[in-house]
Structures are given as structure tokens and as C-alpha cells.
């Protein structure tokens, strides 16, 4: 009982403790609410960004499909490395806009022609990834073909009138 009597006798201390506790609860709820609002805003921004990326992917998808078909045609012996690289270049010149600066920074090479050849080699390697021996064999052969063109100074991509034989535009 003595403890209770002392607590009630020190009302200012009890009021101060109650005020501090109430203030702490208020701040926790208020700050938590702000964080919740910030998280909601961040979530909305991320969802908007996701929609933008989905739209970009949908616009880029036909180009990726065309490049996959070109790589398969090269694998099937229906075109040469230089022809495939020329078709890749033609695909990259189609809408949506291609980021040439990023291409030049991320793909090694002294020219866009060489970079397109290296991109074709990577597509072929990825296409054949289920058979590592075949993928390595094709990559080595195509890299040697590219090296030979670079040594001889014959790395000139042919002009192509369509992205794929029988195809005038990306579908």
C-alpha cells in the first residue's frame, strides 16, 4: 500500500510519466503512419515502373524473336556469320529505338560490325546452351571466323533488304 500512496502523492510525476507514454505512442503511430505512406508511395512507384518495363519488354519482344530466328538460321547453315550480323543490325534499326551508346559500351569491339558479330556469337551460344559441347564448338568456329575477318580486314556486313529472308518487318 505504501507504494500506491507514494504514487498518488506524487501526481506531477505520474502526470509526467503518462504524458511521456502518450507522446511516445503518438510518435510511434505517427512515424509508423508516415512510413506506411512512404511504403505505399514507393509501392505505387514500383508498380508504375513495372508497367513501364512490361511495355518496353512487349515492344522489344519481336526483335528478340527475330534475333533468335536469325541465330537458328545460322546454326542450321542457312546464313553466314556476316549475314546474321547484318540481319541483327537491321533488327536493331527497327523501332523501338535501339540504345546504340549502351551497345557500344557493353559489347566489345572496334566497330559496330564487330559488335554485331559478337552479339550473334552470344545468341548462338545461348541457343545451344542445352548442349554445351555443341555450343562451345559453334562459338569457337564463329569466333575463329570473326578473327579471320578482322585479320584480313574483310569485316564488312552485307546490306540486307529485310530482317529475315521473306520478312520485311518485325512481326
Interval 126-159: pLDDT, tens? 999 999 999 999 999 999 999 999 999 999 999 9
Residue 102 falls inside a structural domain: yes
In the chain, the number of structural domains is: 1
Q: What does pTM read for this prediction?
A: 0.69
pLDDT of residue 168: 42
C-alpha atoms less than 13 angstroms from C-alpha of 68 in its C-beta half-sphere: 10
Q: Would 163 be classed as within a structural domain?
A: no
Instruction: Give me the chain's average pLDDT, please.
Output: 82
Assess if residue 135 is contained within a domain: yes
The number of angstroms, rounded, from the C-alpha of 160 to the middle of its chain's C-alpha atoms is 28
Kindly indicate the confidence band of residue 26, based on its pLDDT and cuts at 50, 70 and 90: low
Is residue 3 situated within a structural domain? no
The C-alpha angle 103, 167, 147, rounded to 5 degrees, equals 40
127 inside domain: yes
Q: Is 137 domain-assigned? A: yes
Identify the domain containing residue 93 by its residue range.
60-152
How far apart are the C-alpha atoms of 111 and 165, rounded to whole Å? 25
Please report which helix (H) or strand (E) contains residue 36, including its range: helix 11-75
pLDDT of 37 above 90: no
| Separation between Cα atoms, residue 81 and residue 103, nearest integer Å | 19
Q: What percent of the chain has pLDDT over 70?
A: 70
Confidence grade of residue 14 (pLDDT, cut at 50, 70, 90): low
Q: What residues pair up with 167 in beta bridges, in sequence order? A: 164
Please tell me which residue, 149 or 168, carries the higher pLDDT value: 149
Please count the residues of the chain.
Answer: 171
User: Is residue 28 in some structural domain?
Assistant: no
Q: Given this model, what pLDDT does residue 47 score? A: 83
Determine, yes or no, domain membership for 18. Answer: no
Grade residue 27 by pLDDT with cuts at 50, 70 and 90: low
pLDDT number for residue 42 = 81
Can you give the pLDDT at residue 166? 46
- Contact between 74 and 126 under an 8 Å Cβ cutoff? The reply is no
Amino acid at each position: 500500500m505504501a507504494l500506491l500512496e507514494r504514487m498518488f502523492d506524487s501526481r506531477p510525476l505520474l502526470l509526467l510519466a503518462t504524458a511521456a507514454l502518450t507522446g511516445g505512442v503518438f510518435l510511434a503511430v505517427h512515424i509508423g503512419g508516415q512510413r506506411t505512406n512512404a511504403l505505399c508511395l514507393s509501392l505505387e512507384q514500383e508498380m508504375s515502373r513495372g508497367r513501364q518495363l512490361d511495355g518496353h519488354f512487349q515492344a522489344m519482344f519481336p526483335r528478340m524473336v527475330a534475333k533468335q530466328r536469325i541465330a537458328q538460321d545460322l546454326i542450321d547453315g542457312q546464313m553466314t556469320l556476316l549475314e546474321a550480323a547484318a540481319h541483327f543490325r537491321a533488327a536493331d534499326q527497327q523501332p523501338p529505338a535501339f540504345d546504340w551508346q549502351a551497345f557500344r559500351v557493353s559489347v566489345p569491339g572496334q566497330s559496330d560490325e564487330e559488335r554485331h558479330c559478337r552479339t550473334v556469337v552470344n545468341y548462338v551460344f545461348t541457343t545451344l546452351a542445352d548442349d554445351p559441347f555443341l555450343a562451345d564448338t559453334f562459338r569457337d568456329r564463329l569466333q575463329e571466323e570473326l578473327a579471320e575477318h578482322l585479320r584480313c580486314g574483310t569485316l564488312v556486313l552485307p546490306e540486307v533488304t529485310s530482317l529475315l529472308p521473306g520478312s520485311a518487318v518485325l512481326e
